[in-house]
């Protein structure tokens, strides 16, 4: 429904520049009014009327699933904010530097009252160009925030050399090749790149190619960025594809599998359900575009840990390659098992 209030989640490790971005969102003349949910209420100057302090209370759901967590404070605050409906057009949730974005995102899918009135727009992560590489080594939260993101601002680029910047971007890509990455100084990015992304909207799952391949059209290997090269080492090393330095993160990886074979819905759904039952805690994000045998429509899905949301999107066009593709971003994923399982769903 179009009258749902969009919610942008702003993450990033301490000092990366979240507040700078937040103040830009609030102060630029875009004609929209934002309600802001912040975690360090009163400690940092935020301009704006509707600013609410949050407590980051992560609640487990009583459904026996350890990764089905929601932010209890968000449920309460959004209920309160909706009493002032009409006073704001969108909500921005700023998390602490140590927060896991998953419970925030899951709140919009697991809480019926929140989901009925608001929709998650995107997870935007601000990364410090100088310090991110270090944080990826010593702070699991920083890695989660990169892996989870739809949009990443590599901020404070003025404080690093070109080589260092290329390296930090390569490390980001090693974890999450699907997010849109922007290089920024003082978070200066057109706000349209941060807001109204519809990243969780099934209607907008158009393209799930790795983002950097789009920007790098002469990349020879095209669709092959799924880490299945035979020379794959989990060794913190880097290798070069067409001049692009490529890091593998030992713990957090992305996986993309595609097939031109039409899939069997009767095979795919039990397979994906079983996969997220077993691997859900390790799968941070997943997305897919599927072509089922005998089905004239594209089926799309997206998920967060063990929550999957899927639907028919639109008819396949005649000029379109009917490829099925799934991507997973997660921790220590059993890549071969997923790959074989997916290909085994062919009709």
Partner 1 sequence: VTARDEIPSVAERARIFAAGAPVVAIHFLESTAAFVLGEEALLLVTKDGAQRRVPVHGGAILSSASDGNRVITGGDDGKVIVTAADVTSAAIAADAKRRWIDHVAVAPNGTIAWSAGKQAFVLTSKGGAEALEVPSTVGGLAFAPKGMRLAVAHYNGATLWFPNAETKPEQLEWKGSHLAIAFSPDGRFLVTAMHEPVLHGWRLADRQDMRMQGYAVRVRSIDWTADGKWLATSGAAHLVLWPFQGKSGPMGKEAQLFASTEDNVETVACHPRQPIIAVGYANGLLLLVRIPDGAEILAKRSAAAPITALLWSPDGTALAFGTEDGEAGILSDLG
Q: What is the contact surface with partner 1 in residues (CB under 8 A)?
A: 41-42, 52-53, 55, 57, 59-63, 70, 72-73, 75-77, 80-81, 83-85, 87, 111-113
- CA atoms of 321 and 309, how far apart (whole Å): 24
Minimum CB distance to partner 1, residue 143 (Å): 27
Interior/surface letters 332-344, b for 16+ CB within 10 angstroms, e for the rest: ebebeebbebbee
Minimum CB distance to partner 1, residue 71 (Å): 11
Minimum CB distance to partner 1, residue 72 (Å): 5
Which of residues 41 and 159 has its CB atom nearest to partner 1 in the complex? 41
Total count of residues recorded for the chain: 347
- CA atoms of 3 and 89, how far apart (whole Å): 10
Which residue is listed with tokens 């487990």? 60
Which of residues 110 and 129 has its CB atom nearest to partner 1 in the complex? 110
- CA atoms of 338 and 334, how far apart (whole Å): 6
Which of residues 112 and 318 has its CB atom nearest to partner 1 in the complex? 112
Minimum CB distance to partner 1, residue 11 (Å): 21
Minimum CB distance to partner 1, residue 91 (Å): 14
- CA atoms of 315 and 292, how far apart (whole Å): 12
Which of residues 41 and 134 has its CB atom nearest to partner 1 in the complex? 41
- Give which of 215, 129, 115 is closest to 167, Cα–Cα: 129
Minimum CB distance to partner 1, residue 1 (Å): 14
Locate the DSSP E strands across 238-294: 238-241, 244-247, 252-259, 283-290
Q: What angle do CA 203, 285, 187 make, to 5 degrees?
A: 85
Which of residues 26 and 146 has its CB atom nearest to partner 1 in the complex? 26
Which of residues 54 and 189 has its CB atom nearest to partner 1 in the complex? 54
- Give which of 171, 123, 172 is closest to 151, Cα–Cα: 123
- CA atoms of 191 and 8, how far apart (whole Å): 12
Beta bridge partners of 52: 37
Which of residues 77 and 181 has its CB atom nearest to partner 1 in the complex? 77
Which of residues 87 and 232 has its CB atom nearest to partner 1 in the complex? 87
| Residue 63 burial (CB count, 10 A) | 9
Minimum CB distance to partner 1, residue 57 (Å): 6
Minimum CB distance to partner 1, residue 195 (Å): 24
Residue 70: strand, helix, or coil = strand
Which of residues 79 and 309 has its CB atom nearest to partner 1 in the complex? 79
| Residue 314 burial (CB count, 10 A) | 10
Q: Phi/psi of residue 176, each to 5°?
A: -140, 90
- CA atoms of 280 and 9, how far apart (whole Å): 21
Minimum CB distance to partner 1, residue 107 (Å): 10
Residue 160: strand, helix, or coil = coil
């Amino acid at each position: 429904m179009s009258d749902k209030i969009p919610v942008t989640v702003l993450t990033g490790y301490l000092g990366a520049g979240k507040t700078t971005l937040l103040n830009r969102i609030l102060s630029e003349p875009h004609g929209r009014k934002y309600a802001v949910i912040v975690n360090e209420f009163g400690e940092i100057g935020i301009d704006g009327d509707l600013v609410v302090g949050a407590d980051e209370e992560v609640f487990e759901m009583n459904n026996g699933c350890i990764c089905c967590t929601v932010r209890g404070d968000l449920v309460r605050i959004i209920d309160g904010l909706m009493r002032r409906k009409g006073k704001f057009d969108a909500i921005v949730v700023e998390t602490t530097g140590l927060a896991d974005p998953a419970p925030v995102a899951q709140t919009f899918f697991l809480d019926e009252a929140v989901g009925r009135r608001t929709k998650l727009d995107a997870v935007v992560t601000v990364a410090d160009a100088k310090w991110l590489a270090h944080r990826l080594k010593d702070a699991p939260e920083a890695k989660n925030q990169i892996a989870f993101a739809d949009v990443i601002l590599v901020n404070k680029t003025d404080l690093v050399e070109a080589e260092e910047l290329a390296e930090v971007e390569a490390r980001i890509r090693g974890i999450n090749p699907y997010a849109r990455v922007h290089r920024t100084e003082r978070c200066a990015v057109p706000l349209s790149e941060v807001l109204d992304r519809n990243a969780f909207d099934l209607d907008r799952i158009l393209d799930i190619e790795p983002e950097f391949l789009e920007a790098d059209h002469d990349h020879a290997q095209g669709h092959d960025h799924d880490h299945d090269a035979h020379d794959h080492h989990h060794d913190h090393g880097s290798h070069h594809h067409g001049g692009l330095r490529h890091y593998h993160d030992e713990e957090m990886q992305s996986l993309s599998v595609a097939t031109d074979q039409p899939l069997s819905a009767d095979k795919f759904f039990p397979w994906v359900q079983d996969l997220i039952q077993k691997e859900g805690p390790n799968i941070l994000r997943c997305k897919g575009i599927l072509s089922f045998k005998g089905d004239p429509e594209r089926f799309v899905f997206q998920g967060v840990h063990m929550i999957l949301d899927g639907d028919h999107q639109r008819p396949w066009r005649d000029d379109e390659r009917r490829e099925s593709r799934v991507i997973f971003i997660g921790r220590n994923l059993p890549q071969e098992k997923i790959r074989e399982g997916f290909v085994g769903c062919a009709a």
